[in-house]
């Protein structure tokens, strides 16, 4: 990686196995964000990767299948630390370290908003000096807003329960986690990691 002032420039080729939802790639000389990707094995034919890609500039969504040994170019992106401010009906608002505010379409952020609370710092990804996406940290800390009480003797048959977190995210948690407690959640899998307090 090359550090340029407060931006980090990212660019490299990746294999099909490395491609994940949320990545921004170059395809047919345009930048696309990966909205869905599913790996499929085809016997002797090798693996294929079926994706849904959204064009960053036009918003058009395409279905694209990549073959076995295809290499995919990650887009040249820069990153900046930003602070999440709030959402309205259509967009989420952020502020960078120079106090400049910008918005991103809620649809472009997908489920990322379920891991964000007001004031939280995240990395914004920029393409041609325009913010296009955010990158969540691997884990976030959130408060449990609703969790049904544990029923004595129920831990043997049902060791987990569904809790609603402060952002509206539903997570399976152990029976000992209660309303008001703080937990750590994996942002890639959406799974409970540990109780913080």
| Domain boundaries of the chain, sorted by first residue | 2-74, 81-135, 139-195
DSSP string for residues in 7-42: EEEE--EEEGGG--TT-EEEETTEEEEEEEEEEEE-
pLDDT value at residue 192: 95
* Range 81-135: architecture per CATH: Beta Barrel (2.40)
Mean pLDDT to the nearest integer, 38-50: 78
Q: What three-state secondary structure class fits 118? A: coil
Separation between Cα atoms, residue 114 and residue 133, nearest integer Å = 15
| pLDDT at residue 156 tops 80 | no
Six token digits for residue 62: 């395409």
Query: What is the rounded CA–CA span in Å between residue 30 and residue 56?
Result: 8
DSSP state, 88? -
Which percentage of the chain shows pLDDT scores above 70? 90
User: What would the pLDDT profile of 87-105 be if each residue is shown by its tens digit?
Assistant: 999 999 999 999 999 999 8
Average pLDDT over residues 78-84: 94
Across the range 53-79, mean pLDDT stands at 84
Q: What span, in angstroms and rounded, lies between the C-alpha atoms of 106 and 184?
A: 24
Q: Which residue has the higher pLDDT, 42 or 193?
A: 193
Q: Can you list the positions of beta strands (E) in 1-138?
A: 2-4, 7-10, 13-15, 24-27, 30-41, 47-55, 61-67, 71-74, 77-87, 91-96, 101-105, 121-127, 130-135
Task: For domain 139-195, give the fold.
Answer: OB fold (Dihydrolipoamide Acetyltransferase, E2P) (2.40.50)
- Per-residue model confidence (pLDDT) at position 18: 82
Mean pLDDT of the chain: 85
User: What percent of the chain is predicted at pLDDT more than 90?
Assistant: 42
pLDDT value at residue 45: 66
Is it true that 81-135 and 139-195 share their CATH fold? yes
The total of other beta-carbon atoms located within 10 Å of residue 165's CB is 23
What pLDDT, on a 0 to 100 scale, did the predictor assign at position 169? 96
Stretch 60-68: mean pLDDT: 87
Do the beta carbons of residue 182 and residue 141 sit within 8 Å?
Answer: yes
Distance CA 168, CA 147 (A): 12
Q: Specify the CATH number of the domain 2-74.
A: 2.30.30.30
CA 19 to chain centre: 13
């Amino acid at each position: 990686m090359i550090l340029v002032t407060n931006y980090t420039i990212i660019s490299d080729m990746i294999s099909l196995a490395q491609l994940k939802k949320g990545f921004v790639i170059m395809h047919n000389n345009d930048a696309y964000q990966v909205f869905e990707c599913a790996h499929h094995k085809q016997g002797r034919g090798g693996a294929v990767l079926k994706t849904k890609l959204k064009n960053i500039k036009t918003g058009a969504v395409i279905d694209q299948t990549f073959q076995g040994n295809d290499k995919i170019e990650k887009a040249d992106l820069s990153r900046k630390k930003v602070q999440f401010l709030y959402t309205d009906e259509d967009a989420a608002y952020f502020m960078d370290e120079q106090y400049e505010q910008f918005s991103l379409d809620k649809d472009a952020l997908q489920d990322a908003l379920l891991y964000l609370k007001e004031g939280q710092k995240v990395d914004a990804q920029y393409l041609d000096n325009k913010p296009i996406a955010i990158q969540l940290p691997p884990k976030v800390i959130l408060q449990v807003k609703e969790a049904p009480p544990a029923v004595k003797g129920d831990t043997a048959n049902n060791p987990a329960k569904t809790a609603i977190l402060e952002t509206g995210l539903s997570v399976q948690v152990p029976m000992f986690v209660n309303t008001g407690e703080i937990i750590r959640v994996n942002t890639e899998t959406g799974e409970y990691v540990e109780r913080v307090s």
